[in-house]
Structure 1
Amino acid sequence: MRRLLTVLCVAVVSLVAAPVARAELIPWFASQVGGATQVISVVGVGGSDAKLDVYERTAAGWQAIAAGVPAKIGSKGMSPDHYDGSLLTPMGIYTLDFAFGTQPNPGGGLQYVQVGPNHWWDGDMKSPTYNLMQVCEKSKCPFSTSLSDGTENLDIPQYAHAVVMGVNKERVPGKGGAFFLHTTDGGATAGCVAIDDAMMVKLIKWLRPGALIAVSK
């Protein structure tokens, strides 16, 4: 009997002391991003507010690099049906093509363009360079530079640091353009995703070609 109790005690101690297997982290977008190893997740939490989480895939699986970063999105929220002037942040999985900003390049793996007064994002739906960055003096630009036509001058505080989201890369007129992840001014956006500038700098330093941004409610 004493031996049996000893064996049972050892078994119980061994069971309690056994390491607990950690559940694999599987983000909501995992089945939609192919072989991407860097993904920025943006999930709406109501109105023009969202939370931003940062993930990296390693040999051990997905790892959370940052979580719960406050973000602002379009003043009308988000939708899969985006279009010019909708004030909606487009839902979906998008490339992060290159970075830009009024401030010097903080470093990182993406191409970086330091912008000034002659840098524009062409929003003129009649222009052959619609939804592309262009460099020209305002009086000599071959497209409308009017904000009412959708064109943005990139020399503004909200673009201290920014990364271009690959929305409407086919450049279909009317399907929207100038969607960026950029520095926040504290308010809702016209359809972009905006976060604190210090976090923007960290992300630009971290990002590499092939990174994606995943946007959902």
Structure 2
Amino acid sequence: MKKLMVGMALTATLATAVTPGFGSIGGNQGKAYAATVTYKVTASKLNVRSGAGTNYGIIGSVVKDQMLSVVSKSGSWYKINYNGRTGYVSSDYVQASGTTTPPAESTTYTVTASTLNVRSGAGTSYASIGSVTKGQKLSVVSKSGSWYKINYNGRTGYVSSDYVQASGTTTPPAESTTYTVTASTLNVRSGAGTSYASIGSVTKGQKLSVVSKSGSWYKINYNGRTGYVSSDYVQASATASPKLVVDSFKTLGNAQQVILVTADNYDTKSAKIQTFEKVDGKWKQVLTANGVLGQKGFALSKKEGDMESPTGKYTIGTAFGRYENPGTKLPYRKITANDVWVDDSKSSLYNTWQQKPANGRWTSAENMDIPAYDYGFVINYNESRTPGNGSAIFFHVGTNYTAGCTATSKEQVVSILKWLNPEKNPVIIQSPVSELDKY
């Protein structure tokens, strides 16, 4: 698999330059500046291309020992100022004129999972467009919730932040920031410079979602595509965060972590799973994922064997799995071949974790050593163990439907297990959307 980021060790002496560029407002030009670094060409002849890859057109060439004004790095390509326009050259054939580390728009992270899906959007509901493997370096552009946006084989992809870690001491990228347009009309361009085509415009007071900064240009999300605007004509908006659903909950007590499982109605098995954490007195959303409930949806009044998931607010019990602890702070129990959960309503051990053989202690029990329980945790439902009110209610691995539990992909279960902290008194709330006002 081709590495997404090629590292280079660069030596010699460094020279820096400041190269003027121009920002355009409705056709008027205003001066803007971008810091650059000087590099020397090592190849006899090196093509300059219109984008960061050999699939882009050639717009010219440079020769050995020619000095280049490098603005930033994208994967294994350097973005340069070339004859008054933006060009790209392979970093394999240039070297710094000094000891300074080359500039980088993105941040390098290392994959920690054996295999990690790369998806087309920030969530498991998006299609997989490929995969990366343990130890592979990723060029991370920005962060969205618990997902990193990366450059993947010349296109944009997303990977779960739970399975990558910063290479060295690099600080993780920040999530998108909202900015406000200050110019009456501001061109949005296809690249970070006035040499790039205008793909539209924004107007005074309009809010922009800024992903990152390149020199004096902001990279933004514009009508579903990537655009660039001059930083001279936008300013950071007030930092007020949108209100979250948990902000209106009145029954959370001292809980500082919440798993919210909702469905459109009682009869659907499809669920939305969201996690929230209180930080410095304010709720922050951590994760959103698709999930599934019991085959018949939520229960109005849960009963043993009804194939429905209970509604309500519950504390989190023991974490479990068929493998070693994935890194959760919860008490963790590894499942063995003899482990069962007693669902015999007439047994004194009803709704408890036991081990075979039964020796007359129960007549019915659920086997724990199954793939659905590769990882999960106990939802503390029916702690009084009232006969017939339901047993073995877990949060576990699954993507179809359950017999009364709540489930999602293994990737998301592990992510949530790593996030849960018993010191933050986590709870899980399960409810149809229409009844959230109960909480």
Q: Distance in 2 between matches of 1:80 and 1:109?
A: 33
1:20 aligns with 2:238: yes
Kindly provide the CA deviation profile for residues 129-153 of structure 1, in whole angstroms up to 9, marking residues without a partner as x. 1101112335x36212x3xxxx211
TM-score, normalised via structure 1 length: 0.83
Gaps of 5+ in 2: 1-181, 183-204, 206-234, 433-439
Counterpart selection for 2:421 from 201, 208, 211: 208
Counterpart selection for 2:336 from 109, 113, 116: 116
Instruction: Give the structure 2 partner of residue 125 of structure 1.
Output: 345
Q: Is the 8 A contact 2:397 2:408 kept in 1?
A: yes
Counterpart selection for 1:173 from 387, 411, 416: 387
Instruction: Give the structure 1 partner of residue 257 of structure 2.
Output: 38
Moved more, 201-210 or 87-96: 201-210
Q: Distance in 2 between matches of 1:18 and 1:44?
A: 36
Written as runs of structure 1 = structure 2, the 5 A alignment for 1:1-217 is 19-23=237-241, 25-28=243-246, 30-45=249-264, 47-67=268-288, 69-137=289-357, 140=359, 142-144=361-363, 146=364, 151-184=365-398, 186-209=399-422, 210-217=425-432
The structure with the greater share of residues assigned to strand is 2
Residues paired across the two proteins, number: 195
Q: Distance in 1 between matches of 2:431 and 2:296?
A: 14
Q: Distance in 1 between matches of 2:361 and 2:256?
A: 39
What stretches of structure 1 move > 6 A for 4+ residues in a row? none
Secondary structure of the structure 2 residue equivalent to 1:94: strand
Secondary structure of the structure 1 residue equivalent to 2:413: helix
Gaps of 5+ in 1: 1-12
Alpha-carbon shift at residue 101 of structure 1 (Å):
1.2
Alpha-carbon shift at residue 87 of structure 1 (Å):
1.0
TM-score, normalised via structure 2 length: 0.42
Q: Distance in 2 between matches of 1:196 and 1:59?
A: 30
Moved more, 26-35 or 111-120: 26-35
Matched residue type, 2:426: A
Moved more, 45-54 or 26-35: 26-35
Q: Is the 8 A contact 2:327 2:418 kept in 1?
A: yes
Q: Distance in 2 between matches of 1:118 and 1:59?
A: 44
The structure with the greater share of residues assigned to helix is 1
Kindly provide the CA deviation profile for residues 28-47 of structure 1, in whole angstroms up to 9, marking residues without a partner as x. 47212111011110001352
Alpha-carbon shift at residue 107 of structure 1 (Å):
1.8
Alpha-carbon shift at residue 20 of structure 1 (Å):
2.9
CA RMSD of aligned residues (A): 1.9
Kindly provide the CA deviation profile for residues 115-141 of structure 1, in whole angstroms up to 9, marking residues without a partner as x. 122101011111111101112335x36
Moved more, 42-51 or 163-172: 42-51
Q: Is the 8 A contact 2:317 2:377 kept in 1?
A: yes
Q: Distance in 1 between matches of 2:281 and 2:243?
A: 10
Q: Distance in 2 between matches of 1:175 and 1:193?
A: 17
Alpha-carbon shift at residue 22 of structure 1 (Å):
1.2
- Give the 3 Å change call, closer, same or farther, for CA 77–60 of structure 1 in structure 2: same
Kindly provide the CA deviation profile for residues 12-57 of structure 1, in whole angstroms up to 9, marking residues without a partner as x. x8xx768435145342472121110111100013521001001001
Q: Distance in 2 between matches of 1:152 and 1:85?
A: 12
Kindly provide the CA deviation profile for residues 42-82 of structure 1, in whole angstroms up to 9, marking residues without a partner as x. 00135210010010011141000012x01010111102411
Q: Distance in 2 between matches of 1:83 and 1:35?
A: 30
Give the number of the structure with larger relative contact order, counting CA–CA contacts within 8 Å between residues 6 or more apart. Answer: 1
Q: Is the 8 A contact 1:82 1:89 kept in 2?
A: yes
